């Protein structure tokens, strides 16, 4: 391990080591900050209760950033807008079933990812685990799959934000709004991880207040406070619980996955914090509440307030009205729909902001793994991966196709690229968790070398693995036999299932190019030493004992809050 000057003497913190510019003026320092940073080797250790990481990438996320990202980060397009289409397709019963299954699946996914990142806080993100613990070709395919998933999210979010403006009947060309929002996203991310963290903190706080407020409002309206009188379970009986039966339920699993997509960023962001172990524990607790309150409770309330045949829902009409706004409008409230539409606009911009962060991180990882151009590894002296960031923002310019008459065709194919990407990503996280745990046992490494242990251990990972496979089968089924009963040609089928052949092409292409025909990395040959956070068991136990004593000294209300949050 390289010697370096310690920058933080506080216990249980991460010290980041980097060289700074010695410019003679602010302008000179600003210009010098864009020069290449020293590509310091990433290593880690645990000494005297301190976690130490060496990395040129900027790591300035604070605990408050991690907490808000875990609670409400990436809540946007899927929940606020496309849920209307899912409700119309499956009915309230199908929507609740699909969201419940995917929510439980995701909880175990984040647990698995937390265990992986706590032991292997490698530079970049969790995509490197696919190469090391599963197979290099599979890792190559997953790296590009994850990049595609987030690269197309930025232009999609920008256009969705411009369409959200149309709620107020704006006569301004949508391209103007795309340009304004694009400049805002660029301005936020030019400040690096700190800009992302501060923006997401504000965005997420607004979303938290709005969703909690909506749930309270919905309960009051269901009880009879709105113009519709007492609603109760009226819409579950008329028009009914299910819209298209079993096929309708199968059709919205991917929509639910799209709504939950990005939740894994809490573990990625926690690895960027000053204390990954503590940040992970807290963030994953908050993912539980995110699933229960922000997704399940709000979804159930929508199912009580909006019938699946409401003409204003997406899929029932040509409008893009959010089911949340439809629910408020149906209650007869006059001003609140506009206020909540502002929240939806902020939520969509939040997803756009998060997509930039989630895109340039894996691009850097691609370069380090040798799966992409080396120039993507360029990191400046402020810790910003400039080239990867530039590539991400250039892809964002696709948002300007909103001015083209072919915009619907272009965006259908962009959506097709990202449709199943989340499922493949989650599948790989579960598989990597299972494989590395097995390798620890085979190589005689005690499992207490994982600073964070997943709930259910590998049983949760096996459960999520099976659910991911079932979702892939269900999507293939509705791709062949669509809900509307009409036969589909190959083009429309690919718009449902495009991610699968893309992954297969990248996987087989890498196998042929490298001539590496091994299907997986054998447990006894797996590298579980490089970049692992080496834990001194005795010192680690002492650290936990000290933390327990501090915990017991706190008042009961503090312990109650932090037990759950």
pLDDT number for residue 215 = 92
Name the residue with higher pLDDT: 456 or 298.
Answer: 298
What integer best gives the mean pLDDT of the chain?
Answer: 78
pLDDT-derived band at 486, boundaries 50, 70, 90: low
In sequence order, the β-bridge partners of residue 314 are: 317
Q: Where in the chain is the domain with CATH 1.20.1740.10?
A: 59-403+447-527
pLDDT number for residue 307 = 93
> Is residue 81 pLDDT above 90, yes or no?
no
> Is residue 18 pLDDT above 60, yes or no?
no
Long-range contacts (CB closer than 8 Å, 24 or more residues apart) made by 439-448: 439/133, 439/523, 439/524, 439/526, 439/528, 440/528, 442/523, 442/524, 443/523, 443/524, 443/526, 443/528, 445/528, 446/537, 448/535, 448/537
Of 69-78, 113-122, 372-381, 499-508, where does mean pLDDT reach its minimum?
69-78
> Is residue 306 pLDDT above 70, yes or no?
yes
Buried b or exposed e, range 33-52, using 16+ CB within 10 angstroms = beeebeebebbbebeebbbb
- What length does the chain have? 565
Longest dimension (CA), the chain: 73
Span 399-411, mean pLDDT?
A: 70
Rounded Cα gap, residues 156 and 419, in angstroms: 12
**CA of residue 159 relative to chain centroid, distance:** 20
Rounded Cα gap, residues 83 and 315, in angstroms: 10
Rounded Cα gap, residues 505 and 375, in angstroms: 24
> Is residue 311 pLDDT above 60, yes or no?
yes
pLDDT number for residue 115 = 85
Q: May I ask the CATH architecture of the domain 59-403+447-527?
A: Up-down Bundle (1.20)
Both tokens of 127, joined, read 């995509």
Name the residue with higher pLDDT: 279 or 254.
Answer: 254
Beta-carbon count within 10 A of 551 CB: 12
pLDDT-derived band at 534, boundaries 50, 70, 90: low
Of 3-17, 265-279, 280-294, 497-511, where does mean pLDDT reach its minimum?
3-17
pLDDT number for residue 373 = 86
- The proportion of the chain whose per-residue pLDDT surpasses 90, expressed as a percent, equals 19
User: pTM value?
Assistant: 0.81
Decide: 534 and 45 in contact? Cβ < 8 Å.
Answer: yes
Name the residue with higher pLDDT: 247 or 451.
Answer: 247
> Is residue 285 pLDDT above 80, yes or no?
no
pLDDT of 325-366, one tens digit each?
999 998 888 888 899 989 888 888 888 888 887 788 788 878
Span 197-209, mean pLDDT?
A: 83
**CA of residue 469 relative to chain centroid, distance:** 20
In angstroms, what is the C-alpha Rg of the chain? 24
> Is residue 269 pLDDT above 70, yes or no?
no
Decide: 364 and 376 in contact? Cβ < 8 Å.
Answer: yes
Cα 159–Cα 244–Cα 234 angle in degrees, nearest 5: 90
Following CA atoms 527, 528, 533, 536 in sequence, which dihedral angle do they give, to the nearest 10 degrees?
A: -130
Decide: 18 and 36 in contact? Cβ < 8 Å.
Answer: no
pLDDT number for residue 172 = 81
pLDDT number for residue 135 = 92
Name the residue with higher pLDDT: 34 or 252.
Answer: 252
Rounded Cα gap, residues 130 and 223, in angstroms: 50
For the four alpha carbons of 7, 13, 16 and 21, in that order, the dihedral sign comes to: negative
């Amino acid at each position: 391990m390289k010697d370096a000057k310690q920058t933080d003497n506080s216990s249980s913190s991460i010290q980041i080591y980097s060289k700074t510019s010695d410019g003679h003026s602010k302008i000179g320092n600003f210009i010098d900050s864009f020069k290449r940073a020293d590509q310091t080797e990433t290593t880690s250790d645990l000494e005297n209760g301190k976690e130490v990481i060496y990395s040129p990438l900027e790591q300035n996320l604070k605990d408050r950033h991690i907490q808000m990202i875990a609670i409400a980060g990436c809540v946007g397009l899927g929940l606020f807008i496309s849920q209307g289409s899912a409700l119309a397709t499956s009915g309230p019963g199908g929507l609740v079933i699909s969201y419940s299954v995917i929510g439980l699946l995701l909880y175990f996914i984040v647990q698995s990812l937390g265990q992986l990142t706590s032991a292997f806080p490698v530079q970049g993100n969790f995509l490197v685990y696919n190469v090391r613990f599963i197979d290099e070709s599979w890792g190559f395919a997953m790296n590009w799959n994850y990049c595609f998933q987030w690269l197309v999210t930025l232009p999609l979010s920008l256009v969705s934000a411009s369409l959200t403006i149309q709620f107020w009947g704006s006569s301004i060309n949508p391209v103007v709004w795309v340009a304004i929002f694009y400049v805002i996203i660029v301005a936020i991310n030019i400040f690096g991880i700190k800009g992302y963290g501060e923006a997401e903190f504000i965005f997420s706080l607004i979303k938290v207040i709005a969703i909690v407020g909506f749930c309270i409002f919905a309960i009051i309206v269901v009880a009879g406070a709105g113009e519709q009188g007492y609603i109760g379970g009226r819409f579950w009986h008329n028009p009914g619980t299910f819209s298209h039966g079993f096929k309708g339920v199968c059709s919205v699993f991917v929509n639910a996955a799209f709504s939950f997509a990005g939740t894994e960023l809490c573990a990625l962001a926690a690895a960027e914090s000053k204390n990954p172990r503590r940040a992970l524990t807290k963030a994953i607790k908050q993912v539980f509440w995110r699933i229960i309150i922000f997704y399940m409770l709000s979804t159930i309330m929508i199912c009580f307030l909006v019938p699946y045949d409401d003409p204003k829902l997406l899929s029932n009409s040509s409008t893009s009205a959010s089911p949340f706004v439809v629910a408020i409008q149906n209650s007869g409230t006059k001003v609140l729909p506009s206020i909540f539409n502002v929240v939806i606009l902020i939520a969509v911009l939040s997803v756009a902001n998060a997509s930039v962060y989630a895109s340039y991180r894996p691009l850097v990882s691609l370069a380090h793994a040798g799966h992409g151009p080396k120039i993507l590894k360029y990191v400046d002296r402020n810790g910003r991966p400039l080239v990867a960031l530039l590539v991400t923002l250039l892809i964002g310019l696709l948002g300007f196709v909103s001015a083209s008459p072919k915009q619907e065709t272009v965006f259908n194919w962009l959506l097709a690229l990202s449709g199943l990407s989340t499922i493949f990503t989650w599948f790989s996280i579960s598989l990597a968790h299972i494989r590395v745990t097995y390798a620890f046992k085979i190589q005689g490494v005690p499992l207490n070398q994982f600073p964070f242990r997943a709930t259910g251990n590998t049983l949760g990972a096996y459960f999520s693995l099976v659910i991911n496979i079932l979702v892939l089968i269900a999507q293939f089924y509705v791709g062949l036999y669509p809900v509307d009963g009409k036969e589909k040609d190959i083009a429309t089928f690919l718009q449902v299932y495009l991610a699968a052949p893309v992954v297969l092409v990248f996987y087989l292409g890498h196998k042929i190019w490298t001539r590496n025909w091994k299907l997986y990395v054998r447990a006894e040959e797996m590298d579980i030493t490089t970049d692992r956070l080496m834990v001194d068991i005795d010192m680690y136990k002492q650290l936990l004992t000290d933390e327990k004593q501090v915990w017991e000294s706190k008042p009961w209300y503090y312990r109650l809050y932090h037990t759950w949050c």
